[in-house]
A and B are shown apart, each in its own frame.
Chain A
Amino acid sequence: MASEIAVTCENVSKRFSRNLKKSLFYGLRDVFSEFDLRRGENELPPLRESEFWALKNISFELRRGESMALMGSNGSGKTTLLKVLNGLLKPDSGRVQISGQIGALIALGAGFNPLLTGRENIFINGSVLGFSKADIKARFDEIVQFAGLEHAIDAPVRTYSSGMQVRLGFSIATSVEPKVLLIDEVLAVGDFSFRTRCYGRLAKMMDDTAIIFVSHSAQQITRICRSGLLLENGNPVIQDNIANVILEYNRRNSPETKFRVNYDGALELLGAVVDDTALEFGSPITLRFSIQSEEEYKDCFIRILVRKADEELVGEWNSELHGQLFDIPVGESDHEFTIDSLRLHDGIYRISFFVMDNDRVTHLINAGNVSTIESSGHCYGGVAVQF
Chain B
Amino acid sequence: MKVENTTVVYSAEPSLRHPVRLVSGLIHDLARAKELIWSIFLRDLRAQFRQSILGYFWLLLPPVATAAVWLLLQSQKVLRVETEIPYPLFILIGTTIWISFVNFVNAPLLGFNSGKSVYSKLNVSPEAFVISSILRAVLNTLVRVTILIPVFIWFKFTPPATAFLFPIAAFFFFSIGIAIGILCIPFGSLFTDIGNFLRNFIRLLMYICPVIYPIRKAGWFGELMQKNPFTPGVAWCRDLITTGEMTWALPTIVIGSIGLLLSFVAFVFLRVARPHLIARLGM
- Chain A residues packing against B (C-beta within 8 Å): 14, 16, 23-24, 26-28, 30-31, 33-37, 39-42, 79, 83-102, 104, 106-107, 110-111, 113, 115-116, 120, 123-124, 127-133, 135, 176, 179
Contact = CB atoms under 8 A, between A and B. Distances in A.
Contact of A37 (B14, B46, B278): B14
B215 interface: no
Contacts of A93: 12
B117 A24 contact: no
B12 A41 contact: yes
Interface stretch (B68-76, B149-157, B184-192, B255-263): B184-192
A39 B32 contact: no
A113 B115 CA distance: 11
24 contacts: A23-B280, A27-B276, A27-B280, A30-B276, A37-B14, A83-B278, A88-B123, A90-B10, A94-B12, A95-B11, A95-B12, A100-B5, A101-B4, A106-B122, A110-B121, A116-B43, A123-B39, A127-B40, A128-B36, A128-B118, A130-B32, A131-B1, A179-B3, A179-B5
**Interface majority SS on B: helix, strand, loop or mixed?**
helix
Count chain A CB atoms within 10 A of each CB in B11, B40, B124 and give the residue with the most: B11
B267 interface: no
Contact of A107 (B50, B121, B272): B121
B183 to A, nearest CB: 13
Contacts of A40: 12-13
A36 B14 CA distance: 7
A30 B115 CA distance: 22
Given A31-B273, A87-B10, A95-B10, A110 B117 contact: yes
A208 B17 CA distance: 35
B7 interface: yes
Contacts of A133: 35, 39
Contacts of A110: 117-118, 121-122, 124
B119 A115 contact: no
B218 interface: no
A329 to B, nearest CB: 56
B280 A24 contact: yes
A90 B276 contact: yes
B11 A94 contact: yes
A128 B124 contact: yes
Contacts of A24: 190-191, 280
B204 interface: no
Nearest to B36: A127
A116 to B, nearest CB: 6
Contact of B275 (A88, A102, A127, A130): A88
B20 interface: no
Given A41-B11, A93-B12, A97-B8, A124 B43 contact: yes
B43 A120 contact: yes
B54 interface: no
Interface in B57-86: none
Given A16-B279, A94-B12, 12 more contacts: A24-B280, A27-B190, A28-B186, A40-B12, A87-B10, A88-B123, A97-B10, A98-B8, A106-B121, A113-B46, A123-B39, A132-B35
A132 B33 CA distance: 10
Contacts of B10: 84-85, 87, 90-91, 95-98
A133 B37 CA distance: 12
Contacts of B280: 23-24, 26-27
B53 interface: no
A87 B123 contact: yes
B46 A120 contact: yes
A124 B39 contact: yes
Contacts of A31: 186, 272-273, 276-277
A36 B35 CA distance: 35
A86 B280 CA distance: 16
Interface string B95-139: 000000000000000000001011111111000000000000000
A89 B282 CA distance: 11
B282 to A, nearest CB: 9
Nearest to B275: A90
Closest 10 CB pairs of A and B: A95-B11, A27-B280, A90-B275, A107-B121, A41-B12, A30-B276, A41-B13, A31-B273, A127-B36, A127-B39
A135 B4 CA distance: 14
Contacts of B190: 24, 27-28
B3 A33 contact: no
A128 B114 CA distance: 14
A35 B12 CA distance: 13
B134 to A, nearest CB: 18
Contacts of A35: 14, 16
Contact of A102 (B5, B38, B123): B123
B3 A116 contact: no
A91 B12 CA distance: 5
A81 B40 CA distance: 28
Nearest to A92: B12
Contacts of B247: none
Contacts of A84: 10
A24 B188 CA distance: 11
B16 to A, nearest CB: 5
A333 to B, nearest CB: 53
B5 to A, nearest CB: 6
Nearest to B50: A115
Nearest to A21: B191
B39 A107 contact: no
A176 B4 CA distance: 12
A314 B95 CA distance: 72
A135 B187 contact: no
B191 A96 contact: no
Nearest to B18: A37
